[in-house]
Amino acid sequence: MDDTQIHEWRAKCLYAYEDPGISHINRYTASAIIGDERLLRGEILCLLRLFRGRLRNKGMENHVIAPVLMISLMRPQHARIIEGYFDGKELVISKSPLYDFTREEQALLRLFARNLFSRPIVQLHLLLPRSGML
């Protein structure tokens, strides 16, 4: 595996609401990187692409904010939940700890499923913590 493949992030499984009143999107990304607790450059770049792409979609002209919920998968079997939005001035990102999926734990699977399949909150920008941690 060459260096470009190791640092490549692949965006998978986009879920966007058809309702033009809801600008939220859910997505998961995967990389061959062995992650740690730090937010990675590739994760931030994926978020930025998602914000930009969503706000360019037909029907999103009246939206300034496009919240993204992203599940970030990495090696060996780890994942974290990332929520983010750009409010026109600041990029706001919150992340969970990096979770280890090398052991089967129902509680972790439920946590990730609950987040990935959750319903959007209209005023998300009022609820997201600014501390950077979920």
pLDDT at 128: 44
For the ranges 62-66, 77-81, 125-129, the lowest mean pLDDT is seen at 125-129
Please tell me the distance from the alpha carbon of residue 30 to that of residue 3, in angstroms, as a whole number.
16
Amino acid (1-letter code) at residue 44: I
Per-residue pLDDT band at 3 (split at 50, 70, 90): very low
- Model-wide pTM > 0.75: no
| 76 prior amide bond cis, ω within 30 | yes
* Residue ranges of domains in the chain: 3-127
For CA atoms 13, 122, 92, 58, the dihedral sign is: positive
For the ranges 49-58, 96-105, 106-115, the lowest mean pLDDT is seen at 49-58
pLDDT at 106: 92
Cβ within 8 Å of residue 121, ≥6 positions away: 127
| Token pair 């090696």 in the structure block, residue | 75
Name the more confident of 129 and 96: 96
Name the more confident of 123 and 113: 113
Instruction: Give the pLDDT confidence of 66-104 residue by residue, as tens digits.
Output: 778 888 999 889 999 998 887 778 888 999 999 999 988
Please tell me the distance from the alpha carbon of residue 69 to that of residue 47, in angstroms, as a whole number.
9
Residue pair 14/27 in contact by the 8 Å Cβ criterion? yes
